[in-house]
Structure 1
Amino acid sequence: FFYKAEYSKAQTLAQRAHKHSDGQSKAIKAESCYHIARCYHAQSDYKAALQWYLDAHKANPEYLAPQFGLGQMHMVHDDPKKAAVCFERVHKAQPKNVEALKVLGHLYAHEGRTSEALKLLSTAAELAPKDAAVWLELAQLQQKMPGQLAAALKAYEKAATILKLTPGKMPAELWNNLGAIRQKLGKLETAEQAYTFALQVARRQGATGDFDAPCISTQFNFGRLYEERGELDKAKEHYKQILENYPNYPEAFLRLAACEEATGNYQDAIGWNQKALMVHARSPDAFCSLGNLYLAVGDLRMAEMQFKAVLKFEKCEKDSYATIQLAWIQIQLARAGATPSEPLTVACRTRDGEDKVNKAVASLKQVLESEPNNLYAANGLGTACVAKGRLHEARQIFTQVREASSGGECGAATTNLAQLNAATGEYATAAALYEGAAKRKAPNGSKQTHLRLLQARSHFDHAKWSECRQVLQQAAITMPESQVVWHNLGLVYLAAARHPQARLYVESIEKPPPRSVEVVEVAQRHAALARNIFSPEEPDQAMLAAALEGEEEG
């Protein structure tokens, strides 16, 4: 009767069995209580169901079937700890029970016991490799864990493969998540395929337009994809289309700000951020984004105001991101008065500077106490170690953070490690690290150009003129309006034209060995290209074009 949904008849029979179980077997009494509980459960009478499941457990604590229902009732009543106890009983008695592993893994993940949850869900996936729900639960957990993005992608793809075989069971959200992870891992082409499929599924499930509600998250991710490809104009148009359909979509404002920031248009970026705050006046993300823009233009006071505002919001008093950024501002304030070219180690030269760095360290440690796996806080501690002159410790921290963020979650650690290597004369290592960091930035953006300049500086300091020139040539092609790039390119041509032992001649130590005619001709050409770049008059466009050619040095 229960499986025919004739709950009244099933309940009547179970109650008769329960009535006649007094003084009889405890197993019969427990089972009758369990069947009564299931009937109430199926009819959504959770209060009565909870009581009868409890009665079943009391009648026979070794009877496992009621534990599932009892655990579910505790979950309904938002008591995950009591629910976990129930499923732990099942797991202890039946270690290979997939349903218990799944639910217990979910509960542990909810409690923040991620390592235990990962172990349980991985076991469930091994035992039930064709259970899409297990793979999805595992993927969602791995997606949140540092260094687990590649594993999360595999789990999502397993779930997708299984669900493809069941018509109508493939949710658009799955393809959207799949695309987002592929994008984070740099698999842009397959990410686009996943987003396209997500839109197709959404249309089959009832969406009538490309910007309907079921499609909006995927469309937003398309915008992010265009950004990552460096197609910033296309991305901006996409975000504006989202705002035409959903004028209060806050993330679209923030991404428009990010697009403007990427091309160095900081005032326009600030304007988009302020529009976001007009629509969502208490948005922590908007305040943090605005704070970062003020940091980018060097306005530490205004930046500090934005992050402090976040900490005043309800439930944001201990916001880790705002706290980390405020710590970074303290480090920046500690080196106030130093020139931009001076190293960060000048921060602790004064008592006031040392106090500010110590204040930053205290804030970062506070974040790590509550979030031990926060890579950004750990990276901040590495920066504080540099400010204190403890370079060996800083190198260890940056290396560990970089290894932990294999999915690129904390690219700043790679940049910091590169700068540390450059400062200690390990120019080849620094250049390689800058190369890796630059590849993770959007093409045609100011952030990538900045990293290319740092990479070129490492080559320059190592007297690798050809490698330096190639990096700057590419940067000049990408951002031809950047005067800094052109100036540095001129310096490289000038340096390459000089005799490698010119210092000996200038200091009259000895006469340097002569160069071949071919080498001198190349040097003269380099000198002419440098002269054209540095000329106060309108430069010769043909020679500028020649400066971007990949000629080899003699």
Structure 2
Amino acid sequence: MLGILYANQGKLPEAEGMYERSLEGKEKALGRDHTSTLDTVNNLGILYQKQGKLPEAEGMYKRALEGKEKALGRDHISTLDTVNNLGILYQKQGKLPEAEGMYKRALKGKEKALGRDYISTLDTVNNLGILYEKQGKLPEAEGMYKRALEGYEKALGRDHTSTLNTRALEGKEKALGRDHTSTLDTVNNLGILYQKQGKLPEAEGMYKRALEGKEKALGRDHTSTLNTVYNLGILYQKQGKLPEAEGMYKRALEGKEKALGRDHTSTLNTVNNLGSLYQKQGKLPEAEGMFKRALEGKEKALGRDHTSTLDTVNNLGILYQKQGKLPEAEGMFKRALEGYEKALGLTHPKTHTVTRNLQLLYSSRVNAPTGPGRSDPVSRTKVPGRLSTKLRSIIPFRKRSQQ
């Protein structure tokens, strides 16, 4: 119980100590394969996932799953909960097909064991919606979200917190109060929504309200508080308020390094965004340092082919192009393009973006001035035939203006 309490308070190292002590004791008293032991194994997996220790989390989930399948059966709800957790982990690792397989297995099992409208079933439906959205399958995502919302409303009422996770703020304010942490999470999410819609002043208001409330309820250094600080940094950068953005990113980075560690994926995302900010400020050496740190950390934590890793690869390509390091830029763009095609497909917006980056790089080479002092062979490099065909098949080259 202490481990759960510490985890809920964001005290992850303390929670880890409690869980590990509990696991050791249960293994001795009950055995490695007792269901109570396996519950603690599953909880350790959840904790490791929160800490960004994804390989360790995967090991715990797989052990819990194997044990529960033997002790309880493949279709027991406790087994299916671990299947669902593995789906969440695979999604974080960028293993989207594997995540989809886990979610579908969990959903099928829960529908049989619990029914289509049971809360745990609907949680997996909602998770599938999130996955489909990441895969760019927007009609499928919409169908999952609508089913989850309809089910939550029937089972829990329109103002229950689970219903409101897929709806809006007003109900949570009524049910829990304006300053409840769950209400503030929704305020933060509304900020994200407004930002995506281009309603930047409204987004800023939501983030500031969420930040003020979280600082009071959770403290300045809680990870949930720091997430909102980070979101404010992104917003300020979009608004062109670069000094304010830098302040938010630095505060978020310092806090996350302390709370989560230097190599946690959330920390590394902040490092990556600081790199983007430094690039906008013209601080190219500082940007390169941030991007390289983020890339090295993401490769270790997530793997070379995770979409988040590839985002940083693409960012490094853009930076190298600005620095005039065209061969290095080409290498980064090619790696990002190949990875996005495998993970997301040819038609995903991220694939299109890096294709455009390569197109512009090759166009700059073809159009580079020649003559005395302009004989750099790099600038005259031709587009490789296979890649040239691929580029034209996705986004046609712009016609050169007539001289």
- TM-score, with normalisation over the residues of structure 2? 0.71
Task: Work out whether residues 229 and 248 of structure 2, in 8 Å CA contact, stay in contact via their aligned partners in 1.
Answer: no
Distance change in 2, residues 1:235/1:396 (3 Å): same
Task: Work out whether residues 226 and 252 of structure 2, in 8 Å CA contact, stay in contact via their aligned partners in 1.
Answer: no
Structure with larger Rg: 1
Alpha-carbon distance in structure 2 between the residues aligned to 1:332 and 1:310: 22
How many residues align? The count is: 358
Within the alignment, does 1:523 sit opposite 2:381 as a pair? yes
Alignment of 1:40-189 (within 5 A): 137=2, 139-146=3-10, 148-150=11-13, 152-167=15-30, 171-189=37-55
Of 230, 243, 248, 2:110 maps to: 243
Alignment of 1:504-519 (within 5 A): 505=370, 511-515=372-376
Alignment of 1:395-406 (within 5 A): 395-403=249-257, 404-406=259-261
Question: Match for residue 226 of structure 2?
Answer: 375
- Of 355-364 and 435-444, more deviation after overlay is shown by 435-444
Distance change in 2, residues 1:203/1:177 (3 Å): same
Q: CA deviation at 1:243?
A: 3.0
Of 200, 212, 215, 1:365 maps to: 212
Alpha-carbon distance in structure 1 between the residues aligned to 2:125 and 2:394: 42
Q: CA deviation at 1:487?
A: 6.2
Alpha-carbon distance in structure 2 between the residues aligned to 1:141 and 1:537: 51
Runs (5+) with no aligned partner, structure 1? 1-135, 291-305, 337-346, 348-352, 540-554
Q: What SS class does the counterpart of residue 211 from structure 1 fall into?
A: coil
Within the alignment, does 1:393 sit opposite 2:254 as a pair? no
Of 89, 96, 100, 1:225 maps to: 89
Q: CA deviation at 1:272?
A: 0.6
Q: CA deviation at 1:263?
A: 0.3
Task: Work out whether residues 473 and 489 of structure 1, in 8 Å CA contact, stay in contact via their aligned partners in 2.
Answer: no
Question: Match for residue 544 of structure 1?
Answer: none
Alpha-carbon distance in structure 2 between the residues aligned to 1:210 and 1:323: 39
Question: Match for residue 134 of structure 2?
Answer: 262
Runs (5+) with no aligned partner, structure 2? 397-403
- Of 258-267 and 441-450, more deviation after overlay is shown by 441-450
Distance change in 2, residues 1:150/1:217 (3 Å): same
Question: Match for residue 146 of structure 2?
Answer: 274
Distance change in 2, residues 1:409/1:173 (3 Å): farther
Alpha-carbon distance in structure 1 between the residues aligned to 2:268 and 2:162: 20
Q: What SS class does the counterpart of residue 373 from structure 2 fall into?
A: coil
Distance change in 2, residues 1:527/1:494 (3 Å): farther
Q: CA deviation at 1:500?
A: 11
Alpha-carbon distance in structure 2 between the residues aligned to 1:487 and 1:184: 30
1:172 counterpart letter in structure 2: L
Within the alignment, does 1:215 sit opposite 2:79 as a pair? yes
Q: CA deviation at 1:252?
A: 0.8
Distance change in 2, residues 1:203/1:441 (3 Å): closer
Within the alignment, does 1:470 sit opposite 2:347 as a pair? no
Alpha-carbon distance in structure 2 between the residues aligned to 1:383 and 1:175: 36
Which structure's relative contact order is higher, taking Cα pairs within 8 Å and 6+ residues apart? 2
Q: CA deviation at 1:257?
A: 0.7
Alpha-carbon distance in structure 2 between the residues aligned to 1:208 and 1:332: 44
Q: CA deviation at 1:537?
A: 9.7
Task: Work out whether residues 16 and 47 of structure 2, in 8 Å CA contact, stay in contact via their aligned partners in 1.
Answer: yes
Q: CA deviation at 1:420?
A: 1.8
Distance change in 2, residues 1:497/1:221 (3 Å): same
Alpha-carbon distance in structure 2 between the residues aligned to 1:499 and 1:385: 34
Task: Work out whether residues 299 and 309 of structure 2, in 8 Å CA contact, stay in contact via their aligned partners in 1.
Answer: yes
Distance change in 2, residues 1:316/1:265 (3 Å): farther
- TM-score, with normalisation over the residues of structure 1? 0.54
Q: What SS class does the counterpart of residue 171 from structure 1 fall into?
A: helix
Q: Deviations over 1:426-458 (max 9, x none)?
A: 331353365346876799887666565445434
Q: CA deviation at 1:254?
A: 1.2
Alignment of 1:192-211 (within 5 A): 192-199=58-65, 202=68, 208-211=72-75
1:367 counterpart letter in structure 2: K
Alpha-carbon distance in structure 2 between the residues aligned to 1:476 and 1:538: 14
Q: CA deviation at 1:396?
A: 2.4
Within the alignment, does 1:431 sit opposite 2:291 as a pair? yes
Q: CA deviation at 1:532?
A: 1.9
Task: Work out whether residues 395 and 420 of structure 1, in 8 Å CA contact, stay in contact via their aligned partners in 2.
Answer: no
Instruction: State the percentage of identical aligned residues.
Output: 16
Alpha-carbon distance in structure 1 between the residues aligned to 2:30 and 2:203: 60
Task: Work out whether residues 249 and 270 of structure 2, in 8 Å CA contact, stay in contact via their aligned partners in 1.
Answer: no
Q: CA deviation at 1:259?
A: 1.6
Distance change in 2, residues 1:213/1:479 (3 Å): closer
1:364 counterpart letter in structure 2: L
Task: Work out whether residues 191 and 206 of structure 2, in 8 Å CA contact, stay in contact via their aligned partners in 1.
Answer: yes
Task: Work out whether residues 54 and 89 of structure 2, in 8 Å CA contact, stay in contact via their aligned partners in 1.
Answer: yes
Task: Work out whether residues 460 and 492 of structure 1, in 8 Å CA contact, stay in contact via their aligned partners in 2.
Answer: no
